[in-house]
Each structure stands twice: as C-alpha cells, then as structure tokens.
Amino acid sequence: MHRKKRRLRKQAKIIIFLITSILIFVGIIIIGRSQIHLREDGYLTFEVGQPISLSPDDYFTLFFYSDKEKEKMSENLNVVLNEAKYVDEAQSIPAVGSYQGTLTFDGESYPITLTFEDTTSPSITCQDAFPYRDSGFDINDYVSVTDNSFEMCDVEIDTSQLNMEIPGTYEIDVHATDNYGNQTNEIYQVEVKDITPPSITGTEDAIIVRGEDPDLLEGISANDNVDGDCTSGLSTSGEVNNQVVGSYEVSYAVQDQNGNTGSAIKKYYVIDRETRIDNVPMVLQMPSYHNGCESASSTMLLQYYGYDVRLSEVVSAVPRMDTEWRNGTMYGADPNEAFTGSMSSTGYGVFASPMQETMQSMIDQHQGTHTVVNLTGSSCEKLYYYINTGHPVQVWATTNMRDQKQARKVSWKVKTLEGEYTEETITFPLTEHSLVLIGYTPTEVYLNDPLQGLSIVDRDSFEEAYESMGSMALIIE
C-alpha cells in the first residue's frame, strides 16, 4: 500500500514538473513574440547592389516566428528613405551612402538610418577564344568587369603575351579595382583562333520587275578575314516567283576553311514596271494650314479607306505644343512626340509616330477595323511593293526633293509633354514635307502633294529626300 502511494506521488511530481515546464516554455514564447525591437537601434548596414530589403528579420529581433509568419509580416512592412541616391531607373537599389528614413510596420513608425557599403570585389569575365587577324579587335569586347556598386572600375589588362597574328594559347592578366578599394585579379588562358565568320555584302532590298528572270547571285559577294574572297562558296535557299507580285526572302550562306559560317537574308520585291493608284483623294493644306502637310497627308489616307474625316479634325487631333522662350532659349516638342508651333501660322512639323497614333485613334473612334502600320526604316523598294498591293504610302521627304542636309534649319530645346525642360536639342529642316506616294515608273514617282496637288518627281531625287529624312513612312492595312 505504501509502495503504491509513493509511486503515485512520484508520478504526480513528474506531471507537475512537465506542466510547469510547458507553462514556462509557453510563457517564454509569448514574451519573446511580444518583444519586437529594432536591431541596432535602427542603425543598420547592408551590402550595396540589392533592392531595399523588406525582410522583417533585417530590421527586428524576432523570436519564435515561423518563416510563413515572417513572410506575412513583410507584406505590412514599408521603408522610405529621405533624399536617397539610386543606381537604377526604378529607384529600388540605393547607391553607396547613409540615408535616414522611416520604417513603417503594423501601424507603427520607426526612425532608421540605413548604410549601404561596398565590401565586395569586382567580378571579371573573359571569353576563352579571341579572333585571329581581326582588324577591329577590341579586348574590351571580350573582357568585362562589373561591380555590385554599379559604378565603373579601374581596369588594367596585361596583354604583353598576346599575339593576334599567330594562332595559339596565350595568357592575359586582368586586374580590377572598384571605387571603394576592393580588388580582383584574374589570369586567363585564351586561345587565338579564327572565330570570325565571312561577311556577305550586297544584300540590300532589291526590285525584280515582274516577268524578268532574276540572278539571285548578282551583286552578292563574300569575304573572310583569313581566306579572303570566298564568293564562290556562296549557297542560296529560298525562291522568287517572278510572275507574282510579292515579297520574297532569299537566304545566303558561306563557310570559311575553319568552319565559321556567315549568313544573310535579302528581300526581293517583285513588282510591275510601273503602276499608279488613281483614286486617292487629294487634300490640300492651303490656305488654312500652312504647316499642315502631315495632317493633310494623313487625311488623304483615312479618306481613301472610307473614313469620313476632314482635315480640320485631323489637325485638332494631332498632339501639339506651342513654342516657348525661356531664359533666351526656345523650347518645343520632340517631333517624334508632337507638332511644334501652329499649323496655321508659325510652326514646324511632326514625324511619323504621332501621326500613326493620331490616325489609329480616329479609326478606332469610327469603329474601324484597319491598322496604321509604321514603315519607318523601310527601303524605297518596299514602298513600291506596297503601291503594287494597292496601299498608298504617307512619306516624309522635302519640299524641293533634295537631301535635308542642304536645307536651312531651326533649333530648339525639347520640352516634354509632361512639362520638363531638357537639354536635348532638335535641329529641324525647314524643307521638311509630308506627301502621299501613289505610283512610280522606272524614272519617276507620283505624289499627292498637299501643297500643290499631283506631283511627278524624279525618282532618284525622291529617294534621296526620303532617305535623308530618316525613311519615315506610314500605311493603313
């Protein structure tokens, strides 16, 4: 009986001990979870190169919190730094320095001072093969140095052992030091060998008059930096149907003696010898809009595709900015964004992108299904192809059909559409002009000119003026 009582008392003591231990442990957890304090009184240091941390562990002493709970806490944490400098456009990665700010968490605000320092050495990468006999060789294209500070490093490259004229393996020594004294030194074994593919020339866009037999190798040549002329090794793939108006691609390839393959693509446009779209409406900019050639040309395109719009509506829809004088300097719009000045008095011009957006907006307002396509950068051959497919083309050229370099210019500083005054300078040719290309012959082009009506212009002169204005063109599809 006594033995049984002693055993029960012993078991009771154990149970009491366990319960007490559990209560103490739970109390410690409760107290620990309730004691959230800023680390280092809010004076914290981070390595530069990463976005501002939103991890609660980096700012608070946290005991007995699970990773899932900490992840949830980070959603309610916000850091704002005062007058911080950043290394990225998104302003998420602070530059080296110390910044005061405010940490907000769970409705409470804490003053903080964050220091971002660079203690990491620069990183060097080097390609393992250098091009043999490459006259344009620049070692900086093959060795790169980056630093977590996003700043430039002082780089020294010892190439005294390197000989680009003799194939073989060489040693180069690269030493990099960042602006904070961190250094890296690497020695690389590089192989000089022929890794440069042959270049293929003569692949500019070309016209094939329908019915004529094309020679797809005419004017095409290939040259290698080691083998020299290797035109005889050219191969082609792709076909051109010279009986059907269309756009065709032919691929060219050639391999040098060391197995490097050069390739290129040439576009051929099969078109009629001459053609003209006769039913494009003529819209004149005068007398109301002395500087409204772009709007008048866009109006012609819109009316051609059945949209009931007037020139005055298009003029009103084009983004525009008045010229402004500020401290003796004239400011105006970037013509790739808006028209500068007035279309009815003193004004200048606007380029393809704003006119594309204006036309597309008007098409959408009329619930149309057409798309305005920006052909800027297209060859004249491509424009003639579109004429063959029934698409009149709004083009930018000059009033006298000469290279815009010969024109008198006016310059202004750019004021953005958001109102920012910048140092960017626009130099605008006063002969800038927009017209609608409607046809061509072997020697001439037909243009709906909003200044004077139908114009027949020397084809070579038109092509020179068009290309000098940046080959800007628009169509509606």
Is 387 in contact with 440 (CB distance < 8 Å)?
yes
14 belongs to a structural domain: no
pLDDT score recorded for residue 51: 93
For residue range 324-376, list pLDDT tens digits in order.
999 999 999 999 999 999 999 999 999 999 999 999 999 999 999 999 999 99
Q: How far apart are CA 466 and CA 218, in angstroms?
A: 26
Closest of 156, 196, 161 to residue 177, by C-alpha: 156
- The residue ranges of DSSP E strands in 106-205, in sequence order, are 108-117, 123-126, 129-131, 143-146, 154-158, 168-177, 183-193, 199-201
Q: What tokens does 286 get?
A: 């005068």
Q: How far apart are CA 282 and CA 299, in angstroms?
A: 9
**In this structure, are 168 and 217 located in the same domain?**
no
Closest of 407, 289, 294 to residue 351, by C-alpha: 294
Is 397 in contact with 433 (CB distance < 8 Å)?
yes
**In this structure, are 165 and 183 located in the same domain?**
yes
6 belongs to a structural domain: no
**In this structure, are 398 and 280 located in the same domain?**
yes
Q: How far apart are CA 70 and CA 63, in angstroms?
A: 11
Query: How far apart, in Å, are the Cα atoms of 456 and each of 69, 238, 300, 437?
Result: 76, 36, 18, 10
Out of 271, 305, 321, pick the residue that ends a domain. Answer: 271
2 belongs to a structural domain: no
Closest of 82, 85, 44 to residue 61, by C-alpha: 44
**In this structure, are 299 and 442 located in the same domain?**
yes
Tokens 């068009």 label which residue?
466
Tokens 């440069």 label which residue?
196
30 belongs to a structural domain: no
**In this structure, are 188 and 304 located in the same domain?**
no
Q: How far apart are CA 149 and CA 178, in angstroms?
A: 8
How many beta carbons lie within 10 A of that of residue 149, not counting itself?
23
Out of 117, 142, 164, pick the residue that ends a domain. Answer: 117
Closest of 73, 63, 54, 57 to residue 25, by C-alpha: 63
DSSP state of 405: G
**In this structure, are 321 and 466 located in the same domain?**
yes
**In this structure, are 160 and 229 located in the same domain?**
no
User: How far from each other are the two terminal CA atoms of the chain, in whole angstroms?
Assistant: 105
**In this structure, are 76 and 210 located in the same domain?**
no
Q: What is the pTM of this model?
A: 0.71
24 belongs to a structural domain: no
**In this structure, are 69 and 165 located in the same domain?**
no
For residue range 91-100, list pLDDT tens digits in order.
999 999 999 9
**In this structure, are 331 and 449 located in the same domain?**
yes
CATH code at position 142: 2.60.40.10
Closest of 50, 58, 180 to residue 119, by C-alpha: 180
pLDDT in tens, the chain (477 residues): 556 666 666 666 666 656 555 554 445 445 444 456 788 888 999 999 999 998 888 898 776 577 888 788 888 889 999 999 999 988 999 999 999 999 898 888 999 999 999 999 999 999 999 999 888 899 999 999 999 999 999 999 999 999 999 999 999 999 999 999 999 999 999 999 999 999 999 999 999 999 999 999 999 999 999 999 999 999 999 999 999 999 999 999 999 999 999 999 999 999 999 999 999 999 999 999 999 999 999 999 999 999 999 999 999 999 999 999 999 999 999 999 999 999 999 999 999 999 999 999 999 999 999 999 999 999 999 999 999 999 999 999 999 999 999 999 999 999 999 999 999 999 999 999 999 999 999 999 999 999 999 999 999 999 999 999 999 999 999
pLDDT score recorded for residue 24: 47
Q: How far apart are CA 196 and CA 458, in angstroms?
A: 42
**In this structure, are 187 and 211 located in the same domain?**
no
Domain that holds residue 113: 37-117
22 belongs to a structural domain: no
41 belongs to a structural domain: yes
- Indicate the number of domains in the chain: 4
CATH code at position 374: 3.90.70.10
Q: Which helix (H) or strand (E) holds 73?
A: helix 67-74
**In this structure, are 112 and 208 located in the same domain?**
no
Q: How far apart are CA 340 and CA 348, in angstroms?
A: 6
16 belongs to a structural domain: no
Out of 168, 193, 218, pick the residue that ends a domain. Answer: 193
CATH code at position 74: 2.60.40
